[in-house]
Amino acid sequence: MPIIYRCFYSRKSFMFPEHQKGPHRDWKREVEFLDNIFEDGAAYTVGKVNGDHWLLYMASQIRTITSLSNSQILDYDSLPNLQAVPDYTIEILMSDLGKESRDSFFFSQKLASKSPSNLALDISHQLGINNIFPSQLTSLDAYAFTPCGYSSNALIKWGNPEYPNMPTVSNSGEGYFTIHVTPEEGWSYASFECNVPLASSHDEKDPRTMPSIEMLVKRVVSIFRPGRITLTLFMSNQNDDRRNSEGAAEDAQGAFRAALNCIQSDEEADPIKYRRTDKINYEFSHYDLVFASFEVMV
């Protein structure tokens, strides 16, 4: 029987909800669908309801499930090994991508001479996607769509003490990042998601350096140069130390703001600067959520 430790479902508000299938046209219907599975679920809307916002559903009780109508709740303390596993997920959700960035993801003419995978890998190297994390630790798989669009998934090895600034964790492991791009003008969008623990500081001159939150955000945003950005950081806090947790959340907010204060490009004389339009910190049982929205300063 499957054991569900925790369930998380989240997404940004859709640009075109009427084009979605099933319950995904409406957040209320999605919540009803999940509530039919989990008796203890909780749903949240984070951010401006009449603007960019983020939707989250959490179910925190551990249970075994044999069917939708037959489940057994387990004691949280009965699975101590799970409590020790760090959980860390950052999302960078970007709209109104810069023109040069959008043009990079139109492939119709280029696909005549290369396969979708090889072309996507070329673009990944050209834009620096393969260098978001140290390239020696990155295994990247990418795909170029016709006539436009891009998707990539990468596995990142972390915890190797040979690499500077490696986060202090009890064990090494392997995480991921994933990128999806819709480049059409008028509704251009790119998403970045990653669950690799990030360093507390960074050295931009050393290519082996694991990125900090600030460096990661700066690298990703520099690739896509969006007009609007929503950032979320979900962190486990197994000890429920509220003082340390609040400090970590504010540190992340500061890193977001520092990263977006100045995005410099070789192609543009003037840097892009962003202003923060929303800042929210949430405290959940064993988890903290950091949320912020930014837009280009005109």
- pLDDT tens string 241-250: 555 667 888 9
The Cα 274–Cα 252 span in angstroms is 16
**CB 231, CB 90: distance < 8 Å:** yes
Tell me the pLDDT tens digit for each residue of 34-92: 998 887 889 999 888 888 888 999 887 655 555 555 555 555 455 555 545 568 899 99
Lowest mean pLDDT among 208-212, 233-237, 279-283: 208-212
Closest CA to 181 of 136, 139, 127: 127
- Closest by CA to 232, choosing from 277, 192, 199, 196, is 192
18: which 2 tokens?
A: 């009427």
From CA 20, how far away is CA 83, in angstroms rounded? 36
Handedness of CA 12, 298, 128, 183 (dihedral sign): positive
Average pLDDT over residues 201-214: 76
The whole-model pTM stands at 0.84
Crossing angle of the two packed helices 213-224 and 242-259, in degrees rounded to 10: 30
> What are the chain's domains?
3-79 (no CATH), 88-296 (3.60.90.10)
The distance from CA 143 to its chain's CA centroid, rounded to whole angstroms, is 19
Name the token pair of 51: 């603007």
Confidence (pLDDT) at 291:
94
